[in-house]
Copies of this chain bind each other. A is one copy, B any other.
Amino acid sequence: MIPYHEAVREALDQALEMDPAVFVMGQGTDDPSGMFGTTLNLHVKHGRHRVFDTPLSETALMGIANGAAMGGLRPVYFHNRPDFLYLAMDQLVNHAAKWSYMFGGAVNVPVVIWACIGRGWGSAAQHSQAPHGMFMHVPGLKLVMPGTGFDAKGLMLSAIADDNPVLIIEHRFNFRRRCQVPQSPYRVPLGKGVVRRKGRDVTVVGVSYMAAEAYQAAEELAGQGIDAEVIDPRTLKPLDEELILDSVKKTGRVVVADPGWKTCGAAAEIAALVADRGFADLKAPVKRVACPDLPTPAGFTLERAYYPGVPEIVSAVREICTGGPRG
């Protein structure tokens, strides 16, 4: 059992070890806190030229990562929070994501971007966003959202090995847990979700940290006679559509739990997928459990009302399993 951040750090350490083309950069990656511990002292072991701090120039640095990738390297670019990615959008969306297609495959951009959602602690509107829905919209990007330390390590190693731009969005709450993580390097494939709990009555898709909440909700629901299947998609793009549709075939009911905003977010996509290709199996409305369409408030009383979790998942499931139309 190791802390979550150790799992990420182990992946980076091994990637740096295995491939001289890999390097790690980002604000504070070489500082005493080492990006929540994920990059701690890697600069000592692998050298300051391979693990380095950057200026606060998110726009340029994203392009610099792109250029370095075109020049044959494999940059892993760390951001403290996804809130700062808005400054990098042009180079991420207009460049990294489009380069392979735009040049007919002549050049590719194997860059990994990492950022960690900063929920809680009164972080407020500009330091707590979970904007992965935006990036899920972008063709050419791969989007990874691990839910366990095992996946965080294996997905990081896959992301670094991938020949395309991969955005990894972590969730700070996942860092609270210790996890069983094999020491040797391994890969968790991009585009493959996982069933975290088998069940017959309803499918709960939990994105990132919400997979853990969904699991807990399922345990609670079991006591109420509802047998929920919990799916952790692990990567949102490509999305493991078949895993979700297969589950719905069995259960006929879906709740999507997402740490992002509701409108036009990841939950909307998964709901729309089921409403089309899974419609024949559906016995009840498709429910989304997500943050309301609001900037995050600072105060904890409002935070409490803002963030959904186990209770909201339980009640959404109950609504469609007991009270809902055609229920």
Contact = CB atoms under 8 A, between A and B. Distances in A.
Interface of A: 59, 83, 86-87, 89-90, 92-94, 97-98, 101-102, 124-126, 131, 133-134, 136-140, 237, 239, 260-261, 263-269, 271-272, 274-277, 279-280, 282, 284-288, 292-295, 297, 325-326
Going nearest first, the 8 A-B pairs with the smallest beta carbon separation are A275-B275, A271-B272, A279-B285, A86-B89, A137-B264, A86-B90, A280-B325, A268-B272
From A264, A282, A292, residue with most partner B Cβ within 10 Å = A264
Contacts of A277: 285
Contacts of A261: 137-139
A5 to B, nearest CB: 26
B136 A263 contact: yes
A266 B134 CA distance: 11
A264 B138 CA distance: 9
A99 to B, nearest CB: 9
Contact of A101 (B101, B102, B294): B294
A275 B280 contact: no
22 contacts: A87-B89, A89-B90, A94-B125, A98-B295, A134-B137, A136-B264, A137-B263, A139-B294, A264-B265, A264-B266, A268-B268, A268-B269, A271-B272, A271-B276, A272-B286, A275-B286, A276-B288, A277-B285, A279-B282, A279-B286, A279-B325, A279-B326
A288 to B, nearest CB: 7
Nearest to A127: B94
Nearest to A239: B263
Given A90-B86, A93-B86, A272-B268, A295 B140 contact: yes
A124 B137 contact: no
A94 B126 contact: yes
Contacts of A140: 294-295
B124 A265 contact: no
A125 B101 contact: yes
A214 to B, nearest CB: 18
